[in-house]
Structure 1
Amino acid sequence: MDEALLRKALARADAAVAKGPHALAADGQRRTLHVAMGDPQADFDRVLSILSLHGLLDEEGGLRPHVCLVSVGDHFDWGPAADRERVARSALRLVAWLASHPADQAVMLLGNHDLGRVGELADFTDATFRAARVEADRVYAGDDTDAAAERAFLQRWPGLPSAELAARDFSTWTEEQRAWVEHLLRARRFRVAHAAGDSLLVLHAGVTREDLGVVGLEPERWADARAVTEALNGVMDRAVAAWKGGPLVLPGLHHPGNAKDGEGVGIFYQRPSLAAEDGERVRGTPRRRFDPRRLPLGLTQVVGHTRDKRVRELVSPGPTRDGVLRHLVTDGSRVDYAHGPPPVTGPGEAVMVFTDGAMREGRAEDFELLDLEARRAVPLAP
């Protein structure tokens, strides 16, 4: 990436951070290229490099006027413990940079890590979270975590479902991030879903027929991406309007975790699974796994959240590859999963396009963005 362009983009982000939480309304300019970007859990420099390699940045370090970028959620939390402070600043830069664009140019979708800022961590301060994280670092040791130490940790921090969450999953949280997320929720810049076409829905982790039943959408409208978007965003907007503090809950769609109930559940956490031993996929909503044969037919969903390795583990064994677009197609009986953009399908099939390519892994040139109109990878700039 050109160093001068990088400096301008970073300066734009820093100016947005310094301004404080804010959001720009749509400016009505025509966007001719609509691009979905999978989970940007990577250094801001890396995100900018990927956008620049695909020719999406203008000479001032913002998005080109004709570009609409849909960020598919999870803007926080990555990397080792030693990098927490740097990562926290980098993630805030990214969110502020996106918010510095008009709402119809940078579409910001929520992921489970974004909601964690106002969910599991809603009642923390910087000081109390640092204290919890220091303790969590002592307790959490992957599969070797001591059960008694974990129980003692949860007694002291009942708002958390596990030591792992503080030590790893949401470990770069800050009060400043929470202020930004709350503002963007109330300003309706952070959304649950975005309709990119009549039957093309973009959201973080996907919805099933059961999820659409929860929001009261009639089955004959399940393939209507705009109706689905309106229903899902409506649940969030009503919840945010009624929210007076504490963890934000989206009834039937998103329940943050805590010590009493365990890990968070709902449409921002759930992943497809055909594993026979995975009882989570057959429980009622909200949940953390779903049977992909329960996807609404006739609807294509563009999602992040799930890397190739995890889909291979839960749905379709095979060789894995980071960076590439992937797709799953089902007719309610068979399930086909493969690398590459989705094939042409009919009204009797449901499609998921996976865009989480592990952005911080591999070469920036190999990370694919999705052209939502063409339904293929955006080519690299000449």
Structure 2
Amino acid sequence: MNDALFEKAVARADAAVAKGPHATPAEGRHRTRHVVMGDPQADFDRVLSILALHGLLGGDGGLRPDVCLVSVGDHFDWGPASERERVARSGLRLVAWLASHPADQAVLLLGNHDLGRVGELADFTEATFRAAQEEADRLYAGDDTDAAAERDFIARWPALPSVELAARDFSAWREEQRVWVEHLLRARRFRVAHAAGDSLLVLHAGVTREDLDVVGLESGRWSEAGAVADALNGVMDRAVDAWTGGPLVLPGLHHPGNAASGEGLGIFYQRPSLQAEDAERVRETPRRRFDPRRLPLGLTQVVGHTRDKRVRELVSPGPVRDGVLRHLVTDGTRVDYAHGPPPRTGAGEAVMVFTDGAMREGRAEDFQLFDLDAQRAVPLDGR
């Protein structure tokens, strides 16, 4: 990406941040290219580089007029503790830059990190979270964190389910991010799901038959992406309309974590698993694991949230690669998982396309975006 284009994109983002929370309405223009970007937990300049390499940026520092970009969520939190300030600014820049585009050009989907701003962190101030985080930083030692010290910590900070959440998972939280997330929720710019075709759905982590049953969608419509998106977004919109403070809960779909109930649960956290130790965890909803054999047949879901390494651990052992698209296909009995875009499937199969390729790692040239129209990786030249 040339320096002039980069400077225009950054200037557009900074102007959007300075303007304060806002959302540009749809303009009704026909878009000929529809692209999914996996979890953008990376510096804003890395995101811009990837978009430019795939021919998606225009000369004004925004998306090309013919492009509709769908971001699958998790726009915040990455990197070491020493870089929190920079990361916090970078995440806000990205969200503001996306929101500055018309709603029918940049689709913002919610991830668990985005919802954390109005969930576990809903009642924190900058000062109180900094105090909690400083304490968490002293205690957090991964799997070796002292259990007794952690119990004392969450007793003092009951909105948090663990030391790890404050020290690592929501490491770059700032109040300004929460203001933006709340505004974009109320403006209907942050969505749970986006219907990209008759049976093609985009969302953060995926839904199963049980999830669709919870929201009251009749089984005969589970393969209809529009009906599924409307049902999921409807739950969120009703919850947001009724929300007057405290953590935002989406009944049956998203329950933020806390000291009393533990880690957050629901469709923004869940990952596929065939592991025996997860046999009980996949039975109920909301949850953090699901049985991929329970995916709605006839529906293709394009998701982020889960990297190749984790799917290899939970579903299908094999060589791990970051950056690449991956797919899972099931007929309700067998489960096939492999690198690459999905094969042709029929009404008796369910498909997941995984787009979280660890954006901040490796070369920008190796990070693949998903072409919703051709259902393949977007070429580097964008054609």
- Alignment TM class, shorter chain as reference: over 0.9
Aligned to 1:241: 241
Aligned to 1:10: 10
CA displacement 1:31-62 (0-9 Å, x = unmatched) = 00000000000000000000000000000110
CA displacement 1:135-168 (0-9 Å, x = unmatched) = 0001111011011110110011000000100000
CA displacement 1:103-136 (0-9 Å, x = unmatched) = 0000000000000000000000000000000000
Amino acid aligned to 1:319 = P
Structure 1 position 182 matched with structure 2 position 179: no
Aligned to 1:308: 308
CA displacement 1:238-259 (0-9 Å, x = unmatched) = 0000000000000000000000
Amino acid aligned to 1:311 = V
CA displacement 1:300-352 (0-9 Å, x = unmatched) = 00000000000000000000000000000000000000000000000000000
Amino acid aligned to 2:25 = A
Question: How far 1:283 sits from its partner (Å)?
Answer: 2.9
Structure 1 position 157 matched with structure 2 position 145: no
Residues 280 and 264 of structure 1, relative CA distance in 2, 3 Å threshold: farther
Question: How far 1:280 sits from its partner (Å)?
Answer: 4.8
Bigger mean CA offset, 99-108 vs 135-144? 135-144
Q: Distance in 1 between matches of 2:251 and 2:47?
A: 33
How do 1:339-358 and structure 2 match up within 5 A? 339-358=339-358
Q: Distance in 1 between matches of 2:365 and 2:280?
A: 37
Aligned to 2:278: 278
Bigger mean CA offset, 10-19 vs 141-150? 141-150
Amino acid aligned to 1:315 = V
Q: Distance in 2 between matches of 1:171 and 1:178?
A: 14
Question: How far 1:216 sits from its partner (Å)?
Answer: 0.2
Amino acid aligned to 2:34 = H
Aligned to 2:167: 167
Amino acid aligned to 2:303 = V
Aligned to 1:208: 208
Aligned to 2:108: 108
Paired residues of 1:28 and 1:104 also in contact (CA < 8 A): yes
**Aligned CA-pair RMSD:** 0.7
Regions of 4+ moved over 3 Å: none
Q: Distance in 2 between matches of 1:22 and 1:256?
A: 25
Q: Distance in 1 between matches of 2:112 and 2:335?
A: 26
Q: What secondary structure, in the 3-state scheme, does the structure 1 residue paired with 2:70 have?
A: strand
Aligned to 1:191: 191
Q: What secondary structure, in the 3-state scheme, does the structure 1 residue paired with 2:374 have?
A: coil
Amino acid aligned to 1:356 = D
Q: Distance in 2 between matches of 1:272 and 1:310?
A: 9
Structure 1 position 20 matched with structure 2 position 20: yes
Residues 279 and 57 of structure 1, relative CA distance in 2, 3 Å threshold: same
Structure 1 length-normalised TM: 0.99
Amino acid aligned to 1:70 = V
Q: Distance in 2 between matches of 1:218 and 1:133?
A: 44
Q: What secondary structure, in the 3-state scheme, does the structure 1 residue paired with 2:217 have?
A: coil
Name the % identity. Answer: 85
Q: What secondary structure, in the 3-state scheme, does the structure 2 residue paired with 1:232 have?
A: helix
Aligned to 2:30: 30
Aligned to 2:360: 360
Q: What secondary structure, in the 3-state scheme, does the structure 1 residue paired with 2:302 have?
A: strand
Structure 2 length-normalised TM: 0.99
Paired residues of 1:280 and 1:287 also in contact (CA < 8 A): no
Question: How far 1:277 sits from its partner (Å)?
Answer: 1.4
Structure 1 position 128 matched with structure 2 position 137: no
Amino acid aligned to 1:53 = L
CA displacement 1:256-280 (0-9 Å, x = unmatched) = 0000000000000000000011145
Aligned to 1:84: 84
Q: Distance in 2 between matches of 1:231 and 1:14?
A: 35
Paired residues of 1:280 and 1:289 also in contact (CA < 8 A): no
Amino acid aligned to 1:320 = V
Paired residues of 1:280 and 1:290 also in contact (CA < 8 A): no
Paired residues of 1:273 and 1:281 also in contact (CA < 8 A): no
Structure 1 segments unaligned to the other structure (5+ residues):
none
Q: Distance in 2 between matches of 1:144 and 1:284?
A: 29
Aligned to 1:224: 224
Q: Distance in 1 between matches of 2:26 and 2:65?
A: 12
Q: Distance in 2 between matches of 1:147 and 1:209?
A: 36
Question: How far 1:281 sits from its partner (Å)?
Answer: 3.6
Structure 2 segments unaligned to the other structure (5+ residues):
none
Q: What secondary structure, in the 3-state scheme, does the structure 1 residue paired with 2:276 have?
A: coil
Q: Distance in 1 between matches of 2:281 and 2:322?
A: 25
Q: What secondary structure, in the 3-state scheme, does the structure 2 residue paired with 1:277 have?
A: helix
Q: What secondary structure, in the 3-state scheme, does the structure 1 residue paired with 2:287 have?
A: coil
Q: Distance in 1 between matches of 2:294 and 2:358?
A: 26
Structure 1 position 70 matched with structure 2 position 70: yes
Q: Distance in 2 between matches of 1:380 and 1:320?
A: 22
Q: What secondary structure, in the 3-state scheme, does the structure 1 residue paired with 2:277 have?
A: coil
Q: Distance in 1 between matches of 2:323 and 2:45?
A: 17
